Structure 1
Amino acid sequence: MVATGARARELQSILIRAGFARAVGPSAPRLETLPSEAAADILNLYRALGGVLAWPALAPGSWDLSFSDGLLVELDESFHFNRYRELTLQRPWAASLPWQNDYLEYSRRWERHSGTGGRRWSNDSAKRMFGRADADGVFGEFGAPRWKQRALYDAMKDAAAATGIVRLARVSIYDEVGGIRLDDILYRKADVPAETVAALVSERVAQP
């Protein structure tokens, strides 16, 4: 299987062929860099997901791709779509995000591919944030701490886009370009003009 990093590099190569230029991007958002209302809502979301800390140190990872016009691109693979991500996409501010409707559908449709074993289900960092985990694949009292953590961190990046702090586009391996799934393009199972992939990215740029 192609690693997520390899798929992101392939997407970057395609976009460069379409005329995009690489650049160093900004730091990932933190609560203190979000507007106060957005930061408060992220904390509310953390608690709605079952967060157990009064003041969690929330630290999403760096942006997947960054380009010279200030555009940031996140490539979301299968682990990003499940019931917890669906919850984050239902916040009022998420209505302005151009990927909201597609991502809600993917979260409902593809949860079984979100990774129900081992560190994909839970790890020490996620358990510190959300407490105990249910057994792999079981949604009882505790569920999947790692899924919750990933969904919350995606929401923080979404909030930064929705409030205009960053210029962000999200695309998913489940998106289609000219009837061909983006995952197949990134696997090089199908060949489409770079400009058509760039058009998908441009359509997905959040406009606060």
Structure 2
Amino acid sequence: MTNDTQTSSLKSRLIGLLKKKWTIGLGGLLLAFAGGIIFWGGFNTAMEITNREAFCIGCHEMEENVYREYRNTIHYSNRTGVRATCPDCHVPKEWGHKMIRKIQASNEVLHKILGSIDTPEKFNAKRLQLAQNEWARMKKTDSRECRNCHNYDSMDYAEQNRRGANMHQKGFAEGMTCIDCHKGIAHSLPPVEQAIGVSNHGAAPDVVHPPLPPKPEAEASAPE
């Protein structure tokens, strides 16, 4: 066999080997790409399932306590029919912040297993601590989840009552955020907070005031 023939044969073998490796590499890349899509789709689907209200109230700790309270608030039922569900207020929408919140939720899963708040008595004993933790989180993020719906820049103060418009403008000018005033907007306040009147616009929304007594008959019939 001549040198030219040997060289030609070697080139053919190298080209064939390169084509084979390229095919295998391309196939592996496509397989990895398809696997990544399937994994991401499954992962994202799982995340969306955990972001549904039905998932949030799957534990009786939530269904029997805060969910019952929430159903009696304007966030659940209102004239516009726009409902803010559990994840709308308690789970960030941005992916990075959402993942951090999900990791933090592993501690909540641990306490679910331990039965830390599995009765109304246990839950109410920890209510103040649980509320303070969430208030601190919302304060730290400048009430980020509230502002998904209630954007400061979109507020029309002319459509608000005078007191609300004044308080909003004053609060924003002083660097306050939603949770500074609206602690009792969706859940009952801890007894300590109710006692000191820290709540929505300074009056505990879950405290039911008795009706005023009727006027004395003589006063009611007095001439104008």
Greater strand share, structure number:
1
Greater helix share, structure number:
2
Q: Which structure ranks higher in relative contact order (CA pairs < 8 Å, sequence separation ≥ 6)?
A: 1
TM-score range, shorter chain: under 0.3
